[in-house]
């Protein structure tokens, strides 16, 4: 429903990511983009979530001007088909889990966490969670939200694939699948290659039963931090090219 361009802000002299609804998009597309902008504004500021600079509409096409980051975890996985070093992958997983925890604490479920939704800066030392176009608010009474539009099947929790109400643990499931992929690459089904404590953590995050998972991003981040590999500098842990 939208395209994302690298653009130049001539007034502030900086690169930005400009997300614009397509001319052929359904009528509700501008509403969804404005909703995404409001959700990102609600979550700002947070070091692990993409920054929004401006939102508006031109000739009926909605737009969001956002922080520009040059690559995503998809590109990192392309370079490391057998997985990243454990310390690097775990550090990134912790950062994304903390960003999700922040969103969950503000009543937001992302619904489409995957490698392509995690962007990296030039030095690949910090990550930003992006693509909140499918994000939704949790109902205050039930603590859940509708599954809504489909996400990306590989990363969707079972209850989301079945169209059932979802909670923050659906995002935990998606991040668990993403982290498994970061650690193991194309061999992601071979959890026995990982240390037992890391494998157990991923199994809990990706449990079929939502009640058996970590309840939200903060809980997942705490568990990952507790088992993260010591002895690496923070800079090295956040730089998969080091």
List, by residue number, the catalytic residues. 112
Contacts of 154 by beta carbon, 8 Å cutoff, 6+ apart: 114, 177
**C-alpha–C-alpha distance, residues 86 and 179, integer Å:** 10
Contacts of 231 by beta carbon, 8 Å cutoff, 6+ apart: none
DSSP at 64? E
In Å, how far are 22, 188, 204 from 1, measured between CA atoms?
6, 31, 34
Cα within 13 Å of Cα(202), Cβ side = 25
| Angle between the N-to-C axes of helices 86-105 and 168-184, in degrees from 0 to 180, rounded to the nearest 10 | 170
Q: Contact at 8 Å (CB) between 175 and 214?
A: no
Task: Report the run of H or E that residue 42 belongs to, with start and end.
Answer: helix 29-43
**C-alpha–C-alpha distance, residues 89 and 175, integer Å:** 12
What is the gyration radius of the CA atoms in the chain, in angstroms? Answer: 18
């Amino acid at each position: 429903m939208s395209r994302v361009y690298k653009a130049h802000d001539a007034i502030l002299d900086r690169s930005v990511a400009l997300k614009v609804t397509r001319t052929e998009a359904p009528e509700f597309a501008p509403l969804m983009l404005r909703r995404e902008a409001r959700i990102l504004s609600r979550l700002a500021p947070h070091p692990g979530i993409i920054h929004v600079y401006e939102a508006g509409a031109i000739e009926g096409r909605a737009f969001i001007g956002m922080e520009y980051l040059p690559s995503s975890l998809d590109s990192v996985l392309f370079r490391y088909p057998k997985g990243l070093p454990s310390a690097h992958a775990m550090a990134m997983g912790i950062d994304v889990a903390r960003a999700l925890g922040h969103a969950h604490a503000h009543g937001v479920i992302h619904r489409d966490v995957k490698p392509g939704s995690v962007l990296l800066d030039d030095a690949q030392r910090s990550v930003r969670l992006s693509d909140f176009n499918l994000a939704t608010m949790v109902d205050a009474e039930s603590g859940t939200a509708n599954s809504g539009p489909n996400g990306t099947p590989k990363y969707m929790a079972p209850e989301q694939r079945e169209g059932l109400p979802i909670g923050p643990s659906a995002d935990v499931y998606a991040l668990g699948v993403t982290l498994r992929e970061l650690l193991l690459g194309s061999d992601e089904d071979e959890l026995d290659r990982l240390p037992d404590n890391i494998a157990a953590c991923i199994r809990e995050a990706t449990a079929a039963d939502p009640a058996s998972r970590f309840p939200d991003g903060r809980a997942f981040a705490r568990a990952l931090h507790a088992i993260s590999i010591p002895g690496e500098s923070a800079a090295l842990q956040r730089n998969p090219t080091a």
